[in-house]
Amino acid sequence: MKKKRITLKDIAKELNVSISTVSRALKDHPDIDKTLTKRIKTLAQKWNYIPNPLAMGLLRQQTRVIGVIVPDLVTYFFSSIISGIEEELQQAGYYIVISSSKESMEKEIESVNNLLNLRIDGLIVCLAQNSKSTKHFEKVLEHDVPLVFFDRVCLEKKVSTVVVDNVSMAEDITTHFYKNGAQRIAHITGPKHLNIVQERTEGYLKGLNQVGLEYDPKYLIRTDLSPVNATKATQKLLNLPSPPDAILGVNDTVIFATMKEIKSRGLSIPEDIMLAGFSDEFHATVVEPNLTSVAHPTHEIGRNAAKLILEQIEEGRSIQKKIILNTELHIRESSQRAVS
Amino acid sequence: MKKKRITLKDIAKELNVSISTVSRALKDHPDIDKTLTKRIKTLAQKWNYIPNPLAMGLLRQQTRVIGVIVPDLVTYFFSSIISGIEEELQQAGYYIVISSSKESMEKEIESVNNLLNLRIDGLIVCLAQNSKSTKHFEKVLEHDVPLVFFDRVCLEKKVSTVVVDNVSMAEDITTHFYKNGAQRIAHITGPKHLNIVQERTEGYLKGLNQVGLEYDPKYLIRTDLSPVNATKATQKLLNLPSPPDAILGVNDTVIFATMKEIKSRGLSIPEDIMLAGFSDEFHATVVEPNLTSVAHPTHEIGRNAAKLILEQIEEGRSIQKKIILNTELHIRESSQRAVS
DNA sequence: ATTTTACCTGCAAAGCTTTGCACAAACCTT
DNA sequence: AAGGTTTGTGCAAAGCTTTGCAGGTAAAAT
């Protein structure tokens, strides 16, 4: 009953020719008799012959599998990027194996090793929140496995990356807040070692500077990227003698927690406090008020990361490129106040 | 510079023994001299030897790769299930290759073929919305590849499935609506051939019957699962001479579209119309009012599907099991009305 | 001293494909 | 008719691992 996968050998035996002849015929090798070629091809078609990818992989030392490691699978930002990666790679005949680091460096290291052992042809990664070491990625490089980072990156000198211009976007939001009447603009930020965190903080400071507001350390709160700690950070801000009248979150997840906390205190958005976040999670347009956010071109991030990997595989050498994608500031209710 | 992956051959050459000796030593074969075994193991450790999975796969005729096909990657429901699958399979030393059917049967067929060609060891699937044919899955069965469906299923006689009790949940919601004062309960449903759609509709009818409301075909609108058509369906309902005072959506995606449409008409929820959905998307608690919804144990669905696959692989024969997981009805603002 | 046993180790095949090289037959040239 | 081409086909190795079987040596038994 079980349908055996048919091999060159099967075809060869049936037609009383050698395996090599079959192999050549199937790729239209000129040496093989045209009539024989046709017969072989017909049978191969009929029996639905597909070369065994394991054998091919062994021969060519490649698997046509690309590894993808993301901090988590369930937020829209990442799943949508994965969707973009998948689209591009599937078209090129590659498969993707996904692994979630759950924001933990340990799991990330484990995933890298697993995937390396699987002999992936390339690796696309968004760093886990607490990934401070880069050793595991240097190992990837040593093995000459093409590597691409997106969003949260490291080893920028050696590795290709796909990012967005966090600095200018954070700056834009900050000035936007000011134009809408904010005077005490706060920023809930994340772990210092992440590039996206640094850049957004830098943009925030630039923005303050541009509109002539003085930077007040009280209004810059560092936390991790979890909702729980975002809530705590918000409480700290709201408990200040003069609480902020605008808060920029390091991402939307943080801002959703902030929003809940603000609402629970009976304060109103944007009247009392304006809000804006990063990454434009799907529910930015679902919450009330709708959230102002920087929309990342998630699908494009994924596709570009995939393209970079493909390029490196084809070129055979490791090219170092940095692709900066445009984001859009989606201004919605949470940050628009009628300025008197 | 490039670090070659080291093989048994390398170790054998270095130690001047044969490949087979190395292979045996590494699995503590009693035939091999203990001292030699130790030396071999030490070197293997030092050189970080990992068996080539391609060679192993070729030998054992298995890849340790499980395919997963979902209608889309970006909704919380699916990404969260994938997360559960990943957790369980990774632990068992399997890799997952994910493919999105984008709700299209054509893409689904393509994915099945691709994965089959990759020689996956098992396949986990949630049917695409318009998957009416089951031929491609029968092909999977013919090849003796373990197969598991979750949520949207078919071929139930032959294939293991992981589902939830849609009938009773739809019934519960319907009676819940009634208890909260609803008299004209509508249901926006989906494509007829999907089991989840049939079951939820059945539950809806049962519910009506139970509370003594008569079924009115005007209040049962069939559409696909897209937000666009959900909006249209809602419009139809609201334009009725006597519009419904409660709407049960076939899932949350549909209900979000419904909610927007209702709000845009200045009607209020739950006062004018009560709402409830299925699957408890993450933003059910983010929208205002919070949405009443049937919470699927997504993570558990994923883990159970993975376990079923693992079981079939280990048993070597195809077992047919049906796992029904418990759901919880999360009653929130959108369906609670003070009954006078 | 010779046979038996025990103890190690290696050969080779299988799993599947590609490809350089050799070989054979048929054709053409002179 | 003999040597040279052309044309078509197969052998075998490589890529890496596992494992049945054979073979070798040294120690034990007779």
Give the model's pLDDT for residue B315. 82
**Bridge partners of A68?**
A98, A124
Q: Is the pLDDT of residue B4 over 90?
A: no
Higher pLDDT, A31 or B178: B178
Give the model's pLDDT for residue B26. 92
Inform me whether the C-beta atom of residue A285 falls under 8 Å from chain B C-beta atoms.
no
Q: Is the pLDDT of residue B24 over 90?
A: yes
Task: Give the E-state strand segments of chain A in sequence order.
Answer: 65-70, 95-100, 122-125, 147-150, 160-164, 185-189, 220-222, 246-249, 274-278, 292-295, 322-325, 328-330
C16 C1' – A40 CA distance, angstroms? 18
Residues of A in contact with B80 (CB under 8 A): 73-74
Q: Which of A 247-276 lie inside 8 A of B, CB atoms? A: 256
User: On the CB side of A78, how many CA atoms lie within 13 Å of its CA?
Assistant: 29
Q: What is the mean pLDDT of residues B37-61?
A: 92
pLDDT per residue over B225-272, tens digit each?
Answer: 999 999 999 999 999 999 999 999 998 889 989 999 999 999 999 999
D16 C1' – B7 CA distance, angstroms? 7
In contact, B137 and B105? CB cutoff 8 Å? no
Give the model's pLDDT for residue B340. 52
pLDDT per residue over B86-124, tens digit each?
Answer: 999 999 999 999 999 999 999 999 999 999 999 999 999
Residues of A in contact with B50 (CB under 8 A): 117
At the second CATH level, the architecture of A62-164+297-325 is 3-Layer(aba) Sandwich (3.40)
- Residue range(s) occupied by CATH 1.10.260 in chain B: 8-51
What is the identity of the amino acid at A214? E
Spatial separation of the C-alpha atoms in residues B165 and B173, rounded to whole Å: 13
Give the model's pLDDT for residue B2. 58
Which nt sits closest to B61, CA to C1'? C15
Give the residue from B160, B162, B221 showing the smallest Cα distance to B190. Answer: B221
In strand D, the nucleotides that come within 7 Å of a protein beta carbon are 7-12, 14-20
Q: Which of A 214-243 lie inside 8 A of B, CB atoms? A: none
Which nt sits closest to B12, CA to C1'? C10
Give the model's pLDDT for residue A168. 94
Give the residue from B296, B327, B308 showing the smallest Cα distance to B88. Answer: B308
Q: Is the pLDDT of residue B3 over 70?
A: no
CA distances from A316 to A68, A257, A262, A313 (A): 20, 46, 53, 5
Interface A–B counts its CB contacts (< 8 A) at 112
B238/chain A closest Cα distance in angstroms: 21
| Contact between chains at A58 and B55 (C-beta distance less than 8 A) | yes
Inform me whether the C-beta atom of residue B279 falls under 8 Å from chain A C-beta atoms.
no
- Residue range(s) occupied by CATH 3.40.50.2300 in chain B: 62-163+297-325, 166-296+329-335
Inform me whether the C-beta atom of residue A50 falls under 8 Å from chain B C-beta atoms.
yes
D8 C1' – B7 CA distance, angstroms? 38
Inform me whether the C-beta atom of residue A62 falls under 8 Å from chain B C-beta atoms.
no
In contact, A309 and A319? CB cutoff 8 Å? no
What is the identity of the amino acid at B19? I
Which chain B residues in 199-228 sit with Cβ < 7 A of strand D?
none
Spatial separation of the C-alpha atoms in residues A215 and A205, rounded to whole Å: 7
Whether the bond into B297 is cis, omega within 30 of 0: no
Inform me whether the C-beta atom of residue A59 falls under 8 Å from chain B C-beta atoms.
no
Give the residue from A146, A112, A169, A202 showing the smallest Cα distance to A314. Answer: A146
Strand B246-249 to B220-222 pairing: unpaired
Question: Which class would CATH give B8-51?
Answer: mainly alpha
Give the residue from B117, B109, B116 showing the smallest Cα distance to B145. Answer: B116
- Residue range(s) occupied by CATH 3.40.50.2300 in chain A: 62-164+297-325, 166-296+329-335
CATH topology for B62-163+297-325?
Answer: Rossmann fold (3.40.50)
| Contact between chains at B79 and A73 (C-beta distance less than 8 A) | yes
pLDDT-flagged residues of chain A (< 70): 1-3, 339-340
Give the model's pLDDT for residue B1. 47
CATH for A166-296+329-335 is: 3.40.50.2300
